[in-house]
Structures are given as C-alpha cells and as structure tokens.
Amino acid sequence: MKGDDEARQDMRADGSEAGSAAELGHDRSLLLVDDDSAFLKRLARAMEARGFQTETAESVAEGIACVETHAPKYAVVDLRLEDGNGLDVIDAIRNLRTDTRIVVLTGYGNIATAVTAVKLGALDYLAKPADADDILHALTQKPGEKVEPPENPMSADRVRWEHIQRVYEMCDRNVSETARRLNMHRRTLQRILAKRAPR
C-alpha cells in the first residue's frame, strides 16, 4: 500500500529541493540502516540524487558489518530493527569514527530512545515517515542549528493511525492480538482498519 508520504518520497527522488553536493565535502559516504526494504531503497535513490554515496543495511548485524568495513561520514539509522536496537549501530560507528554525522529515525512512541541516541552522539532524530529533504537538512545542519518543523506535519489522527498500523503489522495482522496490545475493543479496531488513512 503506497501512502501519501511514500509518494512524496518518490516525487523528490530527483533531488529537486536538495542542496549542492559540494556542501557535503569530499567524503560523501552514507550508511542507511532500516528494516523496511521498500523505504530503504527509495531513500537510497533519493540520497544518491543528492550527492551521497550510499550503502544500505536492513539489520543491526548488517549495519555493524558495514561500519566495520568502512565507517561512514554520514549515517541514518532506524532505532527499531527486527534483530535489535539501532543504538548498537550508532555505538559501533562512534567506536571507529567520532566525526560521523548521524541522524536517527524513530517511530511513534519511541522518542525516549531517540533522545538516548542523541546523547550517544547523533545529531538529531526525525519521526518516521521522514522525506529525503528533511534527512538532508538534518545531516548537514550547522552546530546548534535546529531542524525546521515540517510545513505539513501529520495530524494527531494520522499519528494514531500510523501507530495502530505499525502494531498491526508487528502482530502479523492478527486483529485480536493487536486489539489486546493496544487495549482496544476488537470491533473498534476493525472499524479503524477498514477506514482510509486520515490526512
């Protein structure tokens, strides 16, 4: 299912809103770590269009292996991965390279871990879904500079819907188990799942 955010990601894959590659400096190596394969591929294409030389990993183990082969200048790491926590990838990067500019991606309800990532040396954290221009800005921001809030942030209804969808997928689309974990009545959940995503 391709949502508005994914379409926006594809539309911007040509780097139309990106800064020049010269801003990145000589070392443009970028490691992307995310277990959402489709999102990872789209993001890699979009960041390559913005001048980066990308390498991708879909797990903590793959991410650490990439870091040990070549510690990147830039990294974008999802905190929640199927085989563990993205903090382990950040820790591996920091053990080998102190100047890597790291941005972490976090899903709904995972902000506390994102704050921990910043304490470990990440520049900033962005809530998923984040588009390539938001990520570029976060990676290239000057010290002390804050990322501008998004022009069109998700509504509270959309954030809630995204969270429900994430838990639903984590429960292998089992409605009863999802309802139990969300402390929600099964019929209420079924009605929500039957509706289109709110804006």
pTM: 0.65
The answer to whether residues 154 and 160 touch, using CB atoms and an 8 Å cutoff, is no
Note down pLDDT in tens along the chain; length 199 residues. 444 444 344 434 444 444 444 466 688 999 999 998 888 999 999 999 999 999 999 999 999 999 999 999 999 999 888 898 899 999 999 999 999 999 998 765 566 677 777 888 888 888 777 788 889 988 888 766 555 555 666 677 877 877 788 788 778 889 999 999 999 999 999 988 888 767 6
**CA-only gyration radius of the chain, Å:** 17
Residue-range domains of the chain with CATH:
4-140 (3.40.50.2300), 156-194 (1.10.10.60)
> In 10 A of CB 10, how many CB atoms?
14
* Alpha-carbon dihedral angle through residues 8, 10, 16, 22, given to the nearest 10 degrees: 120
Q: Is residue 102 a contact partner of residue 90, using CB atoms and an 8 Å limit? A: yes
- 80 and 109 in contact (C-beta within 8 Å)? no
Residue 106 sits at the vertex; the CA angle it makes with 54 and 3, to the nearest 5 degrees, is 80
DSSP letter at 178 equals H
Largest Cα separation within the chain, whole Å, is: 56
Report which residue type is found at 83. D
Q: Taking a C-beta distance cutoff of 8 angstroms, is the pair 43, 135 a contact?
A: yes
